[in-house]
Chain A
Amino acid sequence: GNSVTQMEGPVTLSEEAFLTINCTYTATGYPSLFWYVQYPGEGLQLLLKATKADDKGSNKGFEATYRKETTSFHLEKGSVQVSDSAVYFCALSLPNQAGTALIFGKGTTLSVSS
């Protein structure tokens, strides 16, 4: 079946450290890939997305590259800030499946200290 696996958290970093959150997927078709972020007490917000192989999504200093050969979509940021503390979800969607609903990973909690 279709699924998303992301690294277990929590991830604890100091301000200005480099961040990587790993995400791999299994899909029967050719998915679109997403990273969503959830700040405490809030809903999910789209962080970035990529729709085809080798696409790079980027936003707010975060980036992720769609790697079809390794079925991965790792999230990276060169220098994290305290305000980046949140839960990050990797997700995929497939056209014409369940209304193109998102299939989520379990989420990775990031905690950044000053």
Chain B
Amino acid sequence: NAGVTQTPKFRILKIGQSMTLQCTQDMNHNYMYWYRQDPGMGLKLIYYSVGAGITDKGEVPNGYNVSRSTTEDFPLRLELAAPSQTSVYFCASSSPTGTGNTIYFGEGSWLTVV
């Protein structure tokens, strides 16, 4: 089972460049998320989506954009890369059924901005 798949796994960007992190899930989950993980800081929510066509900001949305045209895909766009965006990015998905919602994570994308 593929689960949550994100690409690329590693990327080096120059300051000011733009790129898109791709994320797709094959579990028919309505909810999808993007997190970033910085050393010693845990994971912070960037954006989330509760269904196709619906997105909303999380805790740290500045410098990023997302779209959700299909249930399966939730790409994350960096328009003008900055060194502060050097981080590990995780896409995740879930299908809440009352309490105890379990969120499934992709394997991560390591991004370095130089």
| A45→B92 CA distance, assembly (Å) | 11
* A99 close to B90 (CB less than 8 A): no
Contacts of B31 in A (CB 8 A): 99-100
* B42 close to A89 (CB less than 8 A): yes
| Interface residue B27 (Cβ < 8 Å from any Cβ of A) | no
| Smallest CB separation, A32 vs chain B (Å) | 5
| Smallest CB separation, B30 vs chain A (Å) | 9
- How many residue pairs link A and B with beta carbons under 8 A? The number is 65
Q: Taking A51-B99, A99-B31 as contacts, is the C-beta distance between A104 and B43 under 8 angstroms? A: yes
Q: Taking A32-B99, A32-B100 as contacts, is the C-beta distance between A100 and B94 under 8 angstroms? A: yes
The contact size tier of chain B is 20 to 34
| Interface residue B1 (Cβ < 8 Å from any Cβ of A) | no
- 12 example contacts (A-B, Cβ-Cβ < 8 A) are as follows A32-B101, A36-B105, A44-B90, A51-B99, A89-B42, A93-B103, A98-B58, A99-B48, A99-B56, A101-B33, A101-B48, A101-B58
B interface residues (Cβ-Cβ under 8 A, vs A): 31, 33, 40-45, 48-50, 56, 58, 90, 94, 96, 98-108
